[in-house]
Structures are given as structure tokens and as C-alpha cells.
Structure 1
């Protein structure tokens, strides 16, 4: 396959390039200056990008595919709070509504929606606080079922806590034994602060034991005293696990006072902790207890980025008890994240795709990611000519290629104005 006349970030002087892809290995063989109109000399498939932006496939670093498309069943989240959502999910499990076939269909539908918006890699948290590990075992099968068009990582996520839920610690480990890729946790929902700290130590023990990364739902609460993020930094450093731990959500960081932040940020940087921030979802869930001057409740994306920390922007939910909207479109998430964080200066706008490409790729530890010779051909063509245009117009994906194979293509939308 050859993609001609492609605009690739980092190309010398912004010149267009031709990208050749080996159909056998699925890897990029050469990237050369565009030759102009191309006449096929072989049977290779040709796609003319016509000067449009070609990007690595987007990376969704935090989503819950097992929760997808369940909003309103058994009931709606009338308060809009995190805690009512968790209660609704408990009711759903106890009512036996999470049957394997439904989980599978909902998860695949959500994954397809994300892929149609440019995603090629997904890290999904999967609730393992279920003695049967129903959702985990279904998602493990889904991971294999969709591998030709999307790579999926499974996080063993104890939605109800490892100590707050009887046997939660055992279930996380069982999921790891059965092939979970990442250790998850939720310390702020454990019975006490001390239990939360102990849970993190136990989860790091599991990460070391099974050789996995760690991704923690951390401090997702409107409480400036919820500070498990510093425990994650400390455990990461003590165990020489720099770069292997991700802090997800961390809404409480938006409430931290400047003096504490000044002390915390260097610790996070030293531990090379990465972040998965979900601005749309936390704008919806947080600040519900305020009658006016409602806080945003979104982790400080700008402060983290400016300090050199790695921040991925993520969808989190697609129509579930936590968030009734969402369709897997990460461009919407980037738009919200930059707006809510006062990041509409050119240096952020012109590099906005980093939040859904290379940054989340680091969270996942992806190897061979990016448009370079020798890398797997995982790329998309956007109907735009700059990152600024992508953000401003919400441009559609015209072509998606995964492991060197075309996943889908669609025609550009042209509007014919009457003269």
C-alpha cells in the first residue's frame, strides 16, 4: 500500500511525503518526498491524501468498555454524581443484567465507534469486583476478536475497592493470572485513608509480581485532602518503577493549594508518573455539592504539562451510569480539555494531537508507535491540513490503517454553495 501526498508532522519544511507500507509485514518501509501524481507500476493499493494531515492512530488511554451503552438501565443517575453511578452499577450487577452476550455487543459497538473516530489502541478498565469475573472474561475474548482493527489492553479494575469489597484483592490477582495486562485500583473508595494506602502498596506488589504496569483511579473526589497521588509517586520511586504507573482522573488535584502543588510536582516528575485525564466526564461528575462558583473538578492539565509531565486526554465513558454521552471521539475530549484548562495559546493548539497520540502511547508503553520507517503502519488520514484545523473543525477521519491493513475509508464531505 502507498499513501501519497501526505502531510506528516515533522517532515522537512512541511513538504508532502509518500508513505510505502509492506503488505506482508504491515510496516512502513519508506517515507520519501512526494513524487506528485503517481502512476501505479504494481498491484499495490494507492491512496492519495491530497495534502491532508496523516497522524498516528489515536490512543484511548482510559475507557470502560464493559460499562458502555448501559445508561438508564436499571435507572438513570439523577444526581449526576460518581457515587450514585457506582450504586447503579452495583444494582445492575446484583440484578443479573450484565449477561456476557450483552457486554460483548456493547463493548464491540463502543470500540467500533472509537475506531471510526481514529482510535487504534485502547486501554480499557474492566470491573473485576464480581466473583465470576464475567466482564473480564468477556472482554478478554473481545480483545482477540477485534485485534485486526484495534489493539486492546485490559486493566484489572476493582470498581468497589480491594478491601471495601470482600475478596477484591483476590479477584484482582485472579484476573492477572488469567491475562490482565495492567493492575488497577481505587484507593479513595477504600474504607479509610490507611486502607487506601495499604491498597496501593498491595497493588504495586501485584504489579511487581506479574510484571505489569499500574493504572489507578486516583483521588476522583471533590476533596483537597485526598492525596493518594503522592503515595503513588512514592511507591513508584521506592520500587524503581519509574514510568510504569499512571494516575487516572485525579480530580482532587484541582483543589490542591499552591504550596502543596509546588512540593508534589517534582515528586511526580522524579517518579515519571503519567496521567490519564478525562475532562468531559469529570466536568459532569465533580462539583455537585456546590450551589454556586462550581469548581471544574478536572486535573490541572496545564500545570502538569508545563512541568513536563505526560498527560493523556481520554473519553472514559460511552453512555453509562457515570456519563450519559460520549461516542469515542477524542477530538471532542481534546477540545474540552484545552478550553477548561485555559490552553488555547498557539503552543498548545498547534500540538493538540499529542494528548491523544504520543502522550497516551507513553502511558501504554507502546513500542514502534508513530509514523517512522520500520514502525508498524498504524495511521489515519484526517480531513484537515493542520492540527489547528483538526481542533477547530472537528475533522473526520477519511482513512484508517491498522497493522498495514485498511480498516475503513470514507469520502470527504464537500458542500456545494449555490452561487
Structure 2
């Protein structure tokens, strides 16, 4: 029996916020995978270990959850492009666990902190921009959503500082704090509220008519009231993820919401775009115990938020969804704002399954439309392992018929 030897590809395994993924420099990828297309998707699927009918990712670098089935490609920003004022381009691929599919439709806010640190460590940022000590400001062009993100990376003795005493709920050990700014997450030409309403009615067959705030900030997100769908907002992962019927209801809500937000034309297309929109539900502050056993007091939070990612309740909170939470909380009248007590607010601290998170947003109203200048939050990042990943040499081969098709997916 003939066999194809494995190939070695330089890679770094990193945690960013409450997520982790496999990071690549674009120039280190095999040539067929340096451009968008089937070869790149096949390579990343094999690296992660998908599709895996066992749901374990035993034969890959993935962790069999939406938070750990992630890939990142970083490169110097193209000098002849509109994003020439940026240091690096950051492309994110969310790898499906049980299907041969890589979703390029959205960003991962958590891994943004790691993208900046990775770029410095790999020499992708101009050395003149790196201080001996202090903070390096890395200007990131987020390729998936065509937006600017600024990461403030701590530097010690000219190198990225990863250790520190900043604690992030959902992450076991403390690390150095990385402040991340999402600039103009919604362009003036875009509709922050695709339906035109701060609170709309989402009519879902078999479920009913649900008040919903559908917002496009950070990542398209559908916010529901916890009580309207039979929850309190204090639920942990097992309360939702162990209930197949509940997960089906959330996916049905997500599909119909995607249509109403104009993200897809028909609910059948939702399966091919699992990364967006997110579905989240909110509730008024209440005491609860986080997944670690830590007590969260109602007095320490403004509201409760639980969010689903890739069909499952997230163990903490996605960074991009936190942008949506902070933005919606700052706009009087949204379900998020009302759950937080209403009124004007620039910062909220919300409770999630692993603890709490603070996020801020600067918004303004202009001729009846809401604009958000930036959303800010703190994360942390750390290299877990670096070296090479190995994949069979034929893992990213493209069939002859596919080579003849000039098809480039988003990203």
C-alpha cells in the first residue's frame, strides 16, 4: 500500500481570551493554501481534526468545542491596499467539528489579543513600533469583517510579556492584560439594527412571537429575554447543552433571525453559516454560582447574559458578542439596555457562565441612526506551544475539476 509522508508546517498554539487556536504566518503555509479556497480549507480541517464523527478531535489540534476549533492566519498588511495604515492582517477561520466546513463569515474577538502578540513575536510588526518596555500598539485589519482593531500588547525587555496578575473569568490562570479596541465596529453606511427597530418581533414557527433586539456590532447577534424562552439567565452549559430539544429551538430561532436580519435568504442556508448570527438571552441581575463554583453576586453585575456559539451554549462569552453586548447596553431601549436597568451607560459588567466581564462602548445618535465609535475590553493571551504541525502531504490536495473553478470564499 502506498503512503504519503507528512509535511511540517510552522505553527503556534495560542490561547487568546477564553478561546484557543492554531496560528499561522501566511508565508509559512504550503503554497496552495496561501490563497483562499479548497486547499486552505482542507488543510485547516486536517490540522484541527475535522470532520470528527466522534466529536473528540482526537486526531487533530482542536478541542471539540466552538472555543477551541479555531484557526488564524496573520500576515503583514498589504502596502498597496486601503488597509496600508495597519500593521497586520488577521484572518479567522472557525472550523466545524462534525462537518467538512470552515466558516470565514465572522471574527473571533477573543483571539484578537493573541493575534497582536503573535504578530510581534513573528516579526510581522515594524521593530520601530515595539518599545523596550511598555505597550506596543498593534493596528490590526480584521479581514473577515473588514474592520480595524487595536491591541495594546504589554512589552518587557523588547519582547511580548505574557505573564501577569490580570484575571479573566473563564481562564484558569492569571496573565498579562491586553486591552483591545474595536474601532467603528459598524460603519456609518451599515445598519446597526438591520430591521430598523431597537426591539423587533421575531416570529418563529413552533415557538411563537418573541421580542428580540437584532444588532450588527462586533458580530451579528440576536438578543432575547431569558424569561420569554423559559430561562432565568443564570444557566450554565449543562443546563442547555444537555437538552437536545432546547438546542434545536435555539437553532430554529437563529435561522429565522438570520433571515430577518438579511444575512441569508432562506432558513435552509443557516447550516452553511453557523458562525453568525449568534443567539443570546439576557436577564436582570441575580445571584448564581459560576461553573468554577465561584459565587457571583447580583450587586456586582448590571445584567446576566448567556450566548450560544456553533450550536452550543458558550462556556464564557465570545469577544465579538461582548462588543454587541456593550453596544446594545449603551443604547436606551434595547433588550440588553433594559435588562441592565435602562438609561444611558458607557460601561456594563455582565454575568456569564464562567463569571463576569466588563465591556465599554461609545455610541452616538446621528440623524436618527445609532453609531458606535468603539468598544473596549480587556483580555489576555499566551503561547501554549510552538513549532510545527504535521499533516499528511495529500491532506490539502485539490481535485482537477476544482482547480478549474475560480471560486474564492469570503476571507
Report if TM-score (shorter chain) is over 0.5: no
Which structure has more helix as a fraction of its residues?
1
Q: TM-score, normalised by structure 2?
A: 0.27
Higher share of residues assigned strand:
2
